Copies of this chain bind each other. A is one copy, B any other.
């Protein structure tokens, strides 16, 4: 079984037509796996729905706690891209030695239709988490990066090796 943890991020944002602002309602993850006709055994659990810029130390603690507690050896975590590397490093240092943890996200909300990269990233992340050896990885832009070899380029929005 693959454990999917939802934490929010651009991935799951929606447009509030009354205020003109982005916000979180429900996660789209189940609908996305269904649309992908996915028949891998997965369990989806929403841990929080936050913008990663607003993620606090205790939020990361809660993520670590859940990654440790789950019996699954393969964990897919959706996360805002701005602080994805930071959470990945916290997870790596928490000692989840025999588990493969993949963090992914989106630059454009899934709910924004045919411009969003989210559905592609989810497909990639689901594939990588099934075959990569234990460790913590970021999956974006069709690639996988070990947690300590990657940064987000703020000019392009892409993740790149360091």
Judging by beta carbons under 8 Å apart, are A127 and B142 in contact?
yes
Judging by beta carbons under 8 Å apart, are A15 and B142 in contact?
no
Q: Give the A interface residue count (CB, 8 A).
A: 48
Q: Does A38 contact B (CB under 8 A)?
A: yes
Chain B interface: which of A59-67, A89-97, A106-114? A106-114
Q: Does A121 contact B (CB under 8 A)?
A: yes
How far apart are A135's CB and chain B's nearest CB, in angstroms? 13
Give chain A interface residues in 27-85, CB to chain B under 8 Å: 32-33, 35-40
Total copies of the chain: 4
Judging by beta carbons under 8 Å apart, are B112 and A36 in contact?
no
Most buried by B among A112, A127, A142, A155: A127
Judging by beta carbons under 8 Å apart, are B17 and A107 in contact?
yes
* Majority-rule SS of A interface residues: mixed
Judging by beta carbons under 8 Å apart, are A120 and B117 in contact?
no
Identify A124's interface contact among B112, B123, B140, B144, CB under 8 A: B123
How far apart are A158's CB and chain B's nearest CB, in angstroms? 6
Q: How far is the CA of A96 from the CA of B58 in the complex (A)?
A: 51
Contact residues in B for A108 (Cβ distance below 8 Å): 15, 17
Judging by beta carbons under 8 Å apart, are B112 and A157 in contact?
no
Give chain A interface residues in 119-154, CB to chain B under 8 Å: 119-128, 130-132, 139-144, 154
Q: Does A162 contact B (CB under 8 A)?
A: no
